């Protein structure tokens, strides 16, 4: 089933057009990666899906209902969004931060809320962190807590903006593995991803943006070709299938190594 249908979507910051006439469908159950060079409009696009930014042109349907007609609180019962950066302006314990995720469902903190949070802590291995302050955690632990808060919403869709950006290689895989596990358990995942290799390993669909337009959509092998990547990112790459994982890997090649003397 199509979960998002996007028709003629354009977006401007003041007069600067950032997204240009996007038309696309995203299906339920997919793990969709939004990729493209810096400034191509990825964050703007995911913020529009999260209902943070309102496009002036075009229409977006979530489960056949126009997004602008869905109340924020109802949308939050189905769709959870993790921005690329969260600024912590006050000290908060992990357990209280997790409880905020239940906000769309209840005004008070009752038995159900406690049970949901326990479930999430179990699933994401957060039990030893819940009494700590959020700002005492490592980047990797904090990211796990952020995803934990999304899950306390019991969402059907999660939208993420570069969820692995400050993490080392081990934590990158561990966060992506969590997302894949959620996806296999029925949650639709839509994530902006910087790293094309992670996109290749985890995504079932890729949306490749170039200067605010969709350059290509499809599965990994259709989209992450060396021709598409070289053109969109304006750099030379080697793309080949990793014999161990049987997934595509992308290696950038620096310009100086291509220069002949």
The binding site for ligand ADP (CB under 6 A) comprises: 13, 16, 18, 36, 38-44
Q: For residues 45 and 21, is the Cβ–Cβ distance under 8 A?
A: no
The kind and range of the H/E element at 144 are: helix 139-152
- 54 vs 65 by CB, closer to ligand ADP: 54
- 43 vs 143 by CB, closer to ligand ADP: 43
Q: For residues 88 and 124, is the Cβ–Cβ distance under 8 A?
A: no
CA distance 120 to 19: 36
- 38 vs 234 by CB, closer to ligand ADP: 38
CB of 16 to ligand ADP, least distance (A): 6
- 15 vs 69 by CB, closer to ligand ADP: 15
CB of 45 to ligand ADP, least distance (A): 7
Which token pair is 54?
């309102």
Q: For residues 175 and 198, is the Cβ–Cβ distance under 8 A?
A: no
- The DSSP string of 56-120 is SEEEEEETTEEGGGS-HHHHHTTEEEE-S-----S--BHHHHHHHTTTTT-SS--HHHHHHHHHH
CB of 39 to ligand ADP, least distance (A): 4
Which token pair is 199?
């996109």
- 26 vs 98 by CB, closer to ligand ADP: 26
CB of 44 to ligand ADP, least distance (A): 3
- 78 vs 213 by CB, closer to ligand ADP: 213
**Half-sphere exposure at residue 195, Cβ-oriented, CA atoms within 13 angstroms:** 16
CB of 129 to ligand ADP, least distance (A): 29
CB of 250 to ligand ADP, least distance (A): 18
């Amino acid at each position: 089933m199509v979960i998002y249908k996007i028709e003629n979507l354009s977006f401007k910051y003041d007069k600067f057009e950032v997204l240009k006439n996007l038309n696309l469908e995203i299906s339920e159950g997919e793990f969709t990666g939004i990729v493209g060079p810096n400034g191509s409009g990825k964050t703007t696009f995911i913020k529009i899906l999260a209902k943070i930014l309102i496009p002036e042109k075009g229409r977006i349907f979530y489960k056949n209902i126009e997004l602008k007609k869905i109340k924020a609180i109802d949308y939050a019962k189905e769709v959870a969004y993790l921005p690329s950066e969260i600024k912590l302006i006050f000290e908060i314990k992990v357990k209280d931060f997790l409880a905020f995720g239940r906000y769309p469902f209840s005004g008070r903190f009752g038995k159900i809320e406690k049970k949901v949070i326990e479930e999430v802590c179990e699933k994401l291995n957060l039990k030893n962190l819940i009494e700590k302050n959020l700002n005492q955690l490592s980047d990797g632990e904090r990211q796990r807590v952020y995803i934990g808060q999304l899950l306390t919403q019991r969402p059907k869709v999660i939208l993420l903006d570069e969820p692995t950006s400050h993490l080392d290689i081990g934590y990158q895989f561990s966060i992506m593995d969590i997302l894949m596990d959620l996806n296999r358990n029925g949650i639709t995942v839509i994530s902006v991803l910087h790293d094309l290799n992670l996109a290749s390993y985890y995504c079932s669909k890729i949306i490749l943006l170039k200067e605010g337009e969709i350059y290509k959509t499809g599965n990994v092998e259709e989209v992450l070709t060396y021709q598409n990547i070289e053109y969109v990112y304006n750099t030379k790459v080697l793309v080949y299938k990793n014999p161990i994982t049987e997934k595509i890997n992308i290696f950038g090649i620096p310009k100086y190594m291509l220069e002949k003397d």
